[in-house]
Every structure is written in structure tokens, then in C-alpha cells.
Structure 1
Amino acid sequence: CALWFVPVFNPDGNDELHSANRATQNGPQPVGKRANSQGLDLNRDFMKAESPEVRALLGLFQRIDPHLFMDLHTTNGSAHGYQLTYAPSLSTSLDPRLDAFVHERFIPAVRETMAKQYGYRVFDYGNFDRTDGGDPKSWTTYDHKPRCVFNYFGLRNRISMLSEAYSYLPFRDRALATRAFVLANLAELVRRKDELLKLCAAADRTLLAGQGKLGHASRLTDPVRGEVLVGKVERGAGRRLLATDVSRPVTMDVRVRFRATEQLAHPRAWAVVGASELVRQTLQLHGVEVVRLIEPIDVKVERFEIAGRSKARMSYQGHRETRLTGRLVAGTARLPAGAWIVPATQRTARVAAVLLEGHSEDSLACWNFFDRVLADDTAGYPVLRVMEVPAWKTERLPADGAVPVHAPYRLIRAQPPAGALRVKVVCVKPGERRGDPDFGRGVRWRGRELLWSAGEQQSSSLVGLLGALGQALKQRQPVVLVPGPRVTNAELLNACSELDKAGVRQILLQREPE
């Protein structure tokens, strides 16, 4: 099989070394941070896709379409007796045949290989309930929402596997356990490749025939009584916890899967009316086909009639999550010219359904993409379920290489517009990162130097360059930022903010080949 590796998915967070990071983990010392330079948890970004790292990985998914995706982590949770825990996609909107294959044939074979060939104890990912010092009463998995990449990937009609090495083991032991788990998965993948290829193709055909379903109102499955190994840890230096060889089986409630209490059949298409351009761009980032309606047309639809809306009091990943309740109401609607049409007869229809449906548990509405529309109580939910596809006239909307960074900033891969002002920034002296456990203060440097240039004008700061450009800056729109290879995302975002303050209304980012 062909193997593709993303060795460091979060380079900025990985380089943010500090002894206070993951202090209970058993080495190495120091380690980086979970968040990227935007302060985003990348493994919660796979619906809204706001980080450049996630966008790059989504692009790779579309390019190579892997049949197995492995997400390799180190867990820092309960003290259990396993070298590694794992989870396949836990989404409740998966193809049922692929889901059954993973749980009934693929995982049992991998577990057997891990035990017999490599001598490792592995179990479904989860954590014990909190106890008062006695034995735990239950072992429960984490979440089914596709904001997490291992859950998301299953929506693409392929299989995924989360790997969580036990953080209280020494670093070398964690690496060896992870290596064995990857090899066991690959061996089973190759052994069952014909079966898996047929299942993936059948799952694709189901969606191309418009027969997909969205699972919602999801709940943990009923508990199953089973034995789970309870481990013991010892205190090391500082806050470090060290695994011991002591573990014992305890019978308890085990819940490691979710079920949808309701299923919603996909419509023939979704029509998006009145939403921002960012919605279309995000759909296309996921590889979802979007077409534009050329002429107005009357169609049979189902509307999501909102009965209740609540917004989280606390911000999470830069958003206050929105929860909608409501029901579907059948009727007709006149779709205006320019409406975006998302056919449900495409291979990424499960992804589209989770992004667009009002009943979805991790939709774009949840991540505030529809807040502007929903602020008008008379406007209604901006996505209509088209139940019959008429003889409408549409035009394709090819992906234009533009990826939203943070409006009005875009990353472009093509040639910049004529007349654009190119602002280059290179790192002439890397300097050293200063240890700072408070990520909110941003990355701090000692002895770092950047050089900003536009034409013949140069400056050691962007503010200085803007002052030198003067009136010419306002006369030459847009501005294209061209960063060198050692310029960080945080520095680019700060530059975008300064350009925004200077009155630049369109800011583009373009990477030069290294």
C-alpha cells in the first residue's frame, strides 16, 4: 500500500516548548502546546476548517483519497492498564456496512495482532468515571462529533483510527507501542484490501444514488458489562506521573459507541440562500460540489423551522456554539438566481449533510456561520432541503484556489490580481523563542529580525513599511503578503491586522516555493 505521513501536523504548537506543558506526561521534557499559533485546537477544527493546517490536510484528503487515516496522539487521562487505547470513527452518520466491518472484523483482528505478535494490551479509548477512591464504576468514550478528525474522516466513506499512547509510560515505550499499532493496522488493511475496496465503493454508490442518511439526537449506547484494566501510577519529579506494572481487571459499565436516536434521509439537494461567501468556500474546502442557480425557480422543499436557539455563554475555539431545535415543514419555495445548490448525489454528501442540516449536531450553524442570517427572526434557516430536482439551470463553481483565513484575508495559489501591491517578508535572523507558559500572550522572541519590502521600499517592521509607502498603499489594492519559509502564522495574522487598520480592504497571502 502507499503510505503518506504528516509528521508534525501542528508545527507552531510543537515548537512552543515549555516545561509547564503537559506536566504530568512522562517525558520528553520539554514539549510543545496543543494549540496552533491562532490559539486553535486543530483536532476540533474539522468542521469549521479555520486553520491553515486543517485546510492543508483536507486538501490532501481530496488529492489522495486514503482508505485508512490514522490520527496518532498521546492521551493524558485515566490511569488504566493499557499501553495504548484507540477509537474508530464514532460518528452516527456513517455507512452502516463500513461501520460494521470496522467493529466486527477489522478492530478484533488488530487487537489480536497487538497481543500475540507485539505483546501489547490495547482497549477502546475512554476514561474512568470520577471515584471517591474506590474502584471506578464505568469506562466511557469521548465524543462522536466530526469536529474531531477521526470522527470526520468516516463521513468520507473511508475508515479511520485514533491512537492514544498512554502518557504515563516513558516516551520510548509510547513510540514503540504506537509503531506496533500502526503496523498492525496496515497489515490488516493489506490483508483485507479487496473487502475494504468493495465496501468503500458500495458506500460511494449509495451516496451517488442519493440514499444517504444523517444521524442526529445521538446518545451513548447502553452500557455493556465488561472487564477494564485499572492501572496504578506513581509520582515522579514535579507533577510527572509514572506508569507502573501494576494493573488489575475490574468489571464495570463500558460505553464506547454512540447511536443516533433519529435518522434523516438526505434530500435531493440542499439550497443555500442568503448566507455568506464563507459558507460556499468552506463547503468547497471539504470537497463538496457547489453549483450556482442561474435563473429563479419554484421547487418543493422542506424548511427547518426553528423552535429554539441557544448560544453558549463561554467562547470555545473562538466561537460561542449555537444549538438549534426545530422541525421540518414541507412546502414550496422560489429559489432566487445566485442561490447555491449542493447536490446530495455526491460522494461527500455525508459531510455536506452534517455541515448544512438544521438537525445536525456539528453544523456550520453551530459554529456561527449563519449568525448574520439568523439575527433576522423573519429570515428563517438559510438552508432548504430540495425534495425534487427540477429542470433548473445551474453553473459550476470551481474551487478558485482561494481559502479564507479570516475575512477579509485569503490564501491564493494562482497569480495575484493585476496591480496588486506585493509585500514580501523574510526572516533574516531567527532568534530564540522565549519560554512563556501563557499562550494567550502570544509567541515572544529574543533577537528575531524580519525584513519587510515592497518594490524598492524596505523596513524592519511592517508599520515602518506602511509609513514609507504612504499614499501609494491606498491606491494599489489589493495587498498580497508573500512570506518566506520561516515566517510564522502568528506573524502573518498580526500583519493582516495591521494592514486592516491601515485601510486595506482585500488582503491576500501567497506562499513562494521554498
Structure 2
Amino acid sequence: MFCFLLASFMSLASTPAPAPAWRTPFENDPAGNTTATYAECVAYYQKLAAAYPAHLHLAEAGPTDAGQPLHEVVLSADGDADPASTRRKNRRILFIQNGIHPGEPEGIDASMMLTRDLLQHKSLLKLLDKVTIVLVPVYNIDGMLNRNATTRVNQNGPAAYGFRGNARHLDLNRDYIKQESRNARSFAQLFQKWQPDVFVETHTSNGADYQYTMTLIATQHSKLAPALGSYLQGQLLPALYKSMEQKKWPMTPYVDFEGQTPESGLQAFLESPRYSTGYAALFNTIGFMPETHMLKAYAPRVHSTYDFLKTVLETVDAQAPALAAARAQAAADMAAQATFPLTWALDDSQHETVQFRGYEGKMKPSEVSVQPRLYYDRAAPFTRPVKYFNTFKATTTATRPTAYILPKAWAEVADILRRNGATLEPLTREVTIPVETYYFEDFKTTPKPFEGHYVHSQVSLRTVPETTTFHPGDLVVYLQEGAPIRYLLETLEPQATDSFFAWGFFDSVLQQKEHFSDYVFEDLAADLLRREPALRERLEKLKHDNPAFAANGRAQLEWVYLNSPYHEPGHNRYPVARWLGAGKL
């Protein structure tokens, strides 16, 4: 308790206590175990907006599945809430989002306090001279309204909190690419409007027990453009870790072990684009997920989140020119890049070493099953070096086409692309052109639904050059400078981890619509094999190499059908074409 009180005092010592009228519900609880309700949170920002209109702009930013609007809070030195004007003033944009998992509400309370302090203290307001903050007070409004005291069974407070799922029972931190929820659609429009330099989404961890209150997921540097990854690793992250240590909140990378104890080493979190920081990385935005430790009391978790957000603001302010240069170089490099990674694997041949502050993991009999169970002995703390595996290597790549062509029938996909900054140009005339077409050879599908989908992975493709006719209204997406190039590749290349194909947007092409009756097709197949000796030769080889196939008449007939002109051309054919030509259609 003494350590918590000392850390909290150090955290807030430089900021005078707020007047009673400006205390948040968290601050009004002597035990520090209360988080604001949704109504209290919105009312607090409305009160701030009314009192400080010269610096805070509050607006509705689109619908959510709960029927309540998403809110956009803009904090600036001069009240400028226009993204274009902000960029002309060469200000960095820091986007903070809270409450995606409302059972992890530290960021909601910390941001209320930090926003007030920035507005009420001139020494802090100066931090907005070079940085504009865009803040979503609560993202998963649906879940925050579903308040309870039981669903976070592993968590130490607060007394009541929201639920992880939204009104459609979706985990919004798996919805950034597919954007099924109205929340995600409104977020995407807000994100594209501001195109932030740094994105922070606040969370609480699950998992092992250890000494840290704050852990951190940063955008996986291997996935970023080299200039941006180098800046993140070499300048931004060291400054954040150093400043948090000075504020008495030592941090560690997010704790993810191969086993349940750190001896096997920490593994960096690989956030694919379904997650917030993975989505942000597609647009050269550095992302952070601060994860406070679930077993620490709620008050230190809020205060450490407050200090982390303040530290990010201070660091972005101090490093504004370097951050701007790194992003500009990343954009220039991407505009010239020809080959892009789509899937990744941990590179276990490379590691760093970090000093990890943990508790000894031990075994004792379970009172439930009498079997050995793991526990962490807080009477046995340790600090020891552990390996930190923080490098990933690309396992699948794709070359960048001049354009993708999306048939107009796929309107849902077109809507998502537009929402995320892509320009789709409809053809005004019929064109017949050479393109690359993918055919699905194989893929794996999850046996149970995940976030409402049977997700595909390990996609094997056959690439076929074809001359194809496209019609007026079909949509051309050029991958030129200024386009969201990496986003387009990672959604429209079906082998990418979180492609639209992976999430089932194109599943209808996987089902054959026409077939044959055996007794009718037998004669057609025999005639076809007589007329095409090469096809007969391939069939005989398959029979020779595979006795089971040779003994299965139905399988042979099916094979002939699939390799005949009678097989429908759209079956297993990916409908998005790759055009490699020059100029524009």
C-alpha cells in the first residue's frame, strides 16, 4: 500500500489537486475503486467544452451499435479542430481512444483527469503548442452501458464496470478491418479524417502475475516502414520507458511467455490489422496499447495510465520534428515500394535482453481438483534478465499491381474501401484487358466461428494470366502515391492474414453452382478424353500415382469435369483482378 501511495503522490505531485467541482467520479471515491458511468463521462466532457471553448471542441462523430453517438474531443492550443488546418500548422496529431473493452476502464478515467489538467494548468497547456489531441472518450458505448461487477473475474476492481462485447456481442478490437459494427465504421471515418501520427488505445492485461503496473504493446517494428520502425525503436520507445521509470512506473513489454513463466522469454505481440495498432500501422501511424496489470488495485492502474498518456504527449511534443520526418520518409518509401509482406512469423534467431521484474512461479495442490496448479509467489519477487523476441520475418509477400479491379456487384467491399481512404473509379465503358486472376487451390478454415466468421488462413493460390472483359460501373482502385497502398494490399490480397477473403467476404465463390449427373456426363467425359490426349495422359498418371484414386470411378469423373469446359469458370475464382498495365484504364 505504501508503494502505491508513494507512486500516486509522485505521479500527481506536479499537478495541483482539482477543485471539488472538477473532480471525477474516480477522484471522489476515497478508495479509488470507482469508474465513471457513460452518462457521467459524457456530461464531464460537455462541462469541459462549455468552460473551455477556446481549447476544447466536442462533437458527435457517427453512430454506434448502441444507438448512442461516438464522441470526438479535440484539444488544441488555439481551438483549431480542423485536420487540414492542423496539418498546415505542422502540428503532430495524437489520437487517444478509450473503452474499447469497457471492463478495462482505466483510460476513461485517466483521460477525463488529463483533459481537465491540460485545460486548467498553463504549464501543461503548452504541450498543445505542437501537438493536437483527438480523443474518443468511450469507443464501446454499448459495452459501457452493460455495467456489471462480475464479468472480469481475473481483475482487481473497479467495483463496477462495462462488458467486453458490444451490443452485437462483437469484440471491437477484432473489428478494425472487417468493420461490421457501426462503432468501427464511425472510427474509421474519424481516423481517416485525422490521419494521426500516434495512436493510443488503453487496455488492461490478462495473464501472468508480475511486479509491473504498466506493460506496453507497441506497433511491431518489423512491420513498419524502415524509417518509422527505426525511429520507434531508437527514439520514441526509449524515451517512453525512461520517462515512465522517472515517474515511478517502470514498464515492460506486454507479458506474453511461451509457457507460464518467463524462462522461455518474452514474445512481442504481433498485431494483425484486426487489432487497433495493426490497423493503424497500415497507414504509417505508430500505435500503442498500454496494458495495466489486472491484479493491481484500480487506483494505481488509473494513475499509471494517466502518466503514460501524459508521457506520450510530452514525448511527441519533444520529438515532433523527428516523428514528422520519419513518417514523411515512410510515406515516400511506400510510394516507391514494389513488394509488400502479408504474413509474418517470429524470428527466434534474434532477441534482445530485458531485466524482468517478476514473481517466482510455483506449484501447489489445487483446492478444487487436488491436482498441481500454478501460482505466483509475491513473497518471492525477482529481477533477472530474460530474452525478448521482438523481431518478425515475412513469410508471404505480394507484388504491388497498378490497380485492383472490383466488379460492381461487391458493393459491401467497395463501401469499406471508400471508408478507409481508397478512391474507387468506376469504368465508363466496357474494356477487355489482360489481368492476373487468382484461383483458390487450398485454405484452412476455423472449425468454430470467431467474431461471427469462419476465418480462412494458409491460403494457397494459383495465379492465371487472363484476358477479361470488365463492364461500365466496375471499380478500379489505383495503387498510386496518396492511396492507402498497404491497406489495399492487406485487404485485397486473399493470402493476407486479415484480408477480406480471410473474413469470408468472398465465400460465395467457393461454392459450385452447377454440377453433373454421372450417367449423362460419362459419355461426354469419354468423348472429351478421346479428343484431348493430353488430358487423358494427365488422368492416367494420376491413376498410376494414386491407387485409391484409380479405384474410385466417381473421383475420376469429378476430376475430368473440373478440368473440362463444362466446369463453371467462376468457381474458386477470386473476383478481384490485378491489373499490371501502365497509366489508367
TM-score by length of 2: 0.61
Match of 2:498 among 362, 370, 373: 362
Distance 2:391 2:306 in 1: 25
- Distance change >3 Å, CA 291–CA 206, structure 1 → 2: farther
Give 1:263's aligned residue.
Answer: 397
CA contact (8 A) 1:225 1:251 kept: no
- Distance change >3 Å, CA 155–CA 113, structure 1 → 2: same
Which has the larger displacement, 294-303 or 146-155?
294-303
Structure 2 residue matching 1:4: 3-state secondary structure: strand
Match of 1:65 among 151, 170, 195: 195
Q: How many residues are aligned here?
A: 384
Deviation at 1:311, TM superposition (A): 2.0
CA contact (8 A) 2:435 2:578 kept: yes
Give 1:214's aligned residue.
Answer: 340
Distance 1:271 1:286 in 2: 17
Match of 1:126, as an amino acid? V
Distance 1:130 1:283 in 2: 39
Distance 1:176 1:232 in 2: 26
Structure 1 residue matching 2:438: 3-state secondary structure: strand
Give 1:121's aligned residue.
Answer: 250
Distance 1:292 1:72 in 2: 40
Q: Are 1:159 and 2:286 an aligned pair?
A: yes
Match of 2:578 among 366, 385, 407: 385
Match of 2:498, as an amino acid? D
Q: Are 1:307 and 2:437 an aligned pair?
A: no
Distance 1:262 1:40 in 2: 29
Match of 1:280, as an amino acid? A
Deviation at 1:246, TM superposition (A): 5.6
Deviations 1:371-416 (A, max 9, x none): 1233247321111221113542xxxxxxxxxxxxxxxxxxxxxxxx
> Please, which runs of 5 or more residues in structure 2 have no aligned partner?
1-130, 363-374, 513-567
Matches within 5 A, 1:220-239: 220-222=346-348, 224=351, 226=353, 227-231=355-359
CA contact (8 A) 2:436 2:465 kept: yes
Deviation at 1:31, TM superposition (A): 2.0
Structure 1 residue matching 2:502: 3-state secondary structure: coil
Distance 1:233 1:26 in 2: 20
- Distance change >3 Å, CA 96–CA 328, structure 1 → 2: farther
Distance 1:179 1:64 in 2: 23
Identity %: 25
- Distance change >3 Å, CA 325–CA 170, structure 1 → 2: same
Which has the larger displacement, 217-226 or 178-187?
217-226
Distance 2:309 2:443 in 1: 43
- Distance change >3 Å, CA 285–CA 233, structure 1 → 2: farther
Deviations 1:159-189 (A, max 9, x none): 1111101111111101111111112211111
CA contact (8 A) 2:495 2:502 kept: no
Deviations 1:107-164 (A, max 9, x none): 0111111112x02111111322334xx7642322333311001111011122111110
Deviations 1:441-490 (A, max 9, x none): xxxxxxxxxxxxxxxxxxxxxxxxxxxxxxxxxxxxxxxxxxxxxxxxxx
- Distance change >3 Å, CA 140–CA 275, structure 1 → 2: farther
- Distance change >3 Å, CA 7–CA 231, structure 1 → 2: farther
Give 1:36's aligned residue.
Answer: 166
Greater relative contact order (CA < 8 Å, ≥ 6 in sequence): 1
Deviation at 1:5, TM superposition (A): 1.3
Match of 1:320 among 440, 454, 471: 454
- Distance change >3 Å, CA 23–CA 391, structure 1 → 2: closer
Give 1:10's aligned residue.
Answer: 140
- Distance change >3 Å, CA 103–CA 274, structure 1 → 2: same
Larger Rg: 2
Pairwise CA RMSD: 2.7
Distance 1:349 1:183 in 2: 32
Structure 1 residue matching 2:498: 3-state secondary structure: coil
Structure 2 residue matching 1:30: 3-state secondary structure: coil
CA contact (8 A) 1:91 1:154 kept: no
CA contact (8 A) 1:169 1:242 kept: no
Deviation at 1:25, TM superposition (A): 0.7
Give 2:474's aligned residue.
Answer: 339
Distance 2:312 2:346 in 1: 26
Structure 2 residue matching 1:2: 3-state secondary structure: strand
Distance 2:359 2:377 in 1: 8
Distance 2:503 2:178 in 1: 7
CA contact (8 A) 2:360 2:382 kept: no
Give 1:95's aligned residue.
Answer: 225
Structure 1 residue matching 2:329: 3-state secondary structure: helix
Match of 2:317 among 186, 190, 215: 190
Structure 1 residue matching 2:238: 3-state secondary structure: helix
CA contact (8 A) 1:71 1:161 kept: yes
Greater fraction strand: 1
Deviations 1:167-217 (A, max 9, x none): 11111101111111112211111111112212222333344x453543123
Distance 2:408 2:193 in 1: 31
Deviation at 1:326, TM superposition (A): 1.6
CA contact (8 A) 2:221 2:229 kept: no
Match of 1:211, as an amino acid? Q
Greater fraction helix: 2
CA contact (8 A) 2:262 2:386 kept: no
Deviation at 1:232, TM superposition (A): 6.3
Give 2:421's aligned residue.
Answer: 287
Distance 2:471 2:196 in 1: 38
- Distance change >3 Å, CA 271–CA 135, structure 1 → 2: closer
- Distance change >3 Å, CA 210–CA 353, structure 1 → 2: same
Distance 2:218 2:338 in 1: 20
Deviation at 1:221, TM superposition (A): 2.2
Distance 1:91 1:336 in 2: 42
Deviations 1:24-71 (A, max 9, x none): 211102222110010000000001001111111111112222211101
Match of 2:493, as an amino acid? E
- Distance change >3 Å, CA 338–CA 373, structure 1 → 2: farther
- Distance change >3 Å, CA 191–CA 374, structure 1 → 2: same
Matches within 5 A, 1:237-256: 247-256=381-390
Match of 2:182 among 52, 65, 84: 52
Structure 2 residue matching 1:5: 3-state secondary structure: strand
Match of 2:252, as an amino acid? F
- Distance change >3 Å, CA 330–CA 90, structure 1 → 2: farther
Distance 2:449 2:281 in 1: 28
Distance 2:394 2:262 in 1: 31
| 4+ runs deviating over 6 angstroms | none
Match of 1:161, as an amino acid? F
Match of 2:502, as an amino acid? C
Which has the larger displacement, 66-75 or 178-187?
178-187
Give 2:124's aligned residue.
Answer: none
Distance 2:200 2:270 in 1: 17
CA contact (8 A) 1:304 1:328 kept: yes
